[in-house]
Amino acid sequence: MNLPSAFEEKMQGLLGEEMDAYLACYEEPRYYGLRVNTAKISVEEFRKICPFEITPIPWIENGFYYDGERLSPAKHPYYFAGLYYLQEPSAMTPASRLPIEPGDRVLDLCAAPGGKATELGAKLLDTGLLAANDISSSRAKGLLKNIEVFGIGNVLVLSEEPGKLVQYFPEYFDKILIDAPCSGEGMFRKDKKMVKAWDEHGPEYFCNIQKSIILQAAQMLRPGGMLLYSTCTFDGRENERVIGYLREHEPEFQILDIAPYEGFCQGIPEMLEEPDGELRRTVRIFPHKMQGEGHYLALLRKGDLSTARGQAASDRALAAGERTAAKAGKIPEPLAEFFRDITFGLDAARLDIRGERVYYMPKGLPDLRGVRFLRTGLLLGELKKNRFEPSQALAMYLKKEEYRHCINFPAEDERVLKYLKGETLDVEELASAKEKGWRLVCVDGYPLGFGKLSGGVLKNKYLPGWRLC
């Protein structure tokens, strides 16, 4: 592979005698990975039903390698059921090293296409809030789809400048992940187009963007909260120097240890004009030392943890209580009728009806007027002429046992693929001719979407934009 001479020279200075080993890795095939959605299925259960060969990624509890040259996991029904996400192995690391607790308010600031956001949302276990932002509205649409496929309901999907978000979320979040836009040096083997992009926009272009983003994120993090900064590049200007810049302007930020792995390398304090030994706590990932691509990670805490959490929690509970008490209202009858077949009750205070659309909102959201967003909360469906039509997002959010009317197919049933292609299904042997109404379509017990039953025929309601081509 032809690498830019300026890049090779820089890497020679960084790696020294390891340079030959680094260059040799370009002759090796790239690695493919999938990450299990532990909000839907345990790792143990997934391994039992996985239809293709996988090998554990040793530093990711729910990550596995697969042979991407031979296998196509994105075409299997389990992918459409949201049981896993396809992601480069090293790229799984940032979300795995940000400690998420149930009830946390979490922001993924540069979230598209959703690899890290989906993992953060899964770890929340339908509590707290996942705010996922991407400045590109087109990329944010793909982000939203991936979040909905994963069945994450406590969500806010945004497409805004980070600087504008500061106005709405001052010291709001418990955890923030910044997978910053970068020069992409760590992805040269995976994607050769990144080399050309580097020639056009290298580290000098991105480092100022990164410095701006991390300072803006710092303003949205509550005292005692954690911030994880990551890039897929090797240049110190985009990595250690950005962390140094943050600590220079926000000295209350402390660098924390990251859960270790034998292949991780320490950050390099000497990247700063005045070396900071604490930067050894940050992590560099090199492709010649691990079965993955290149990354950098830094985990930081804002100030002292001792009193900040209790104060933040009490303030939050008060604000949420005031807001929900003011909004409590009546559940529309068509919606209430549909939810009589669902085993969990709706909280009327969390409903937000806009025109025909019905949303189920996370608690404690600020006033978002003026913010560009694609989704607030879980889209339950639409109210149309005294009836309720459930959404694809609701189907993915539900578990089979939570809805009384399900049609379950084994993965090998040809009707599964027909359903994913949008075709009408004959289900005479699964339902009597007299049965009618909405049915949750599942594969091996995991929801795919809705259909409407009548006379032994299931009319397909799978979302057109999601269909298998």
CB count in 10 Å sphere of residue 159: 22
SS3 237: coil
SS3 224: strand
> Which H or E run includes 415?
helix 414-420
What single letter denotes the amino acid at residue 185? Answer: E
SS3 236: coil
> Which H or E run includes 106?
strand 105-108
SS3 286: coil
Catalytic residue among 110, 182, 207, 232: 232
Instruction: Write out the DSSP string of 129-192.
Output: EEEEE-S-HHHHHHHHHHHHHTT--SEEEE---HHHHHHH-TT-EEEEEEE-----GGGTTT-T
* Tokens at 188, concatenated: 């040269």
What single letter denotes the amino acid at residue 132? Answer: A
Q: Cα separation of 282 and 103, whole Å?
A: 27
CB count in 10 Å sphere of residue 257: 11
Answer yes or no: 207 catalytic: no
- Expressed in percent and rounded to 5, the helix, strand and coil fractions of the chain are 35, 25, 40
- Among all residues, which ones are annotated catalytic? 232
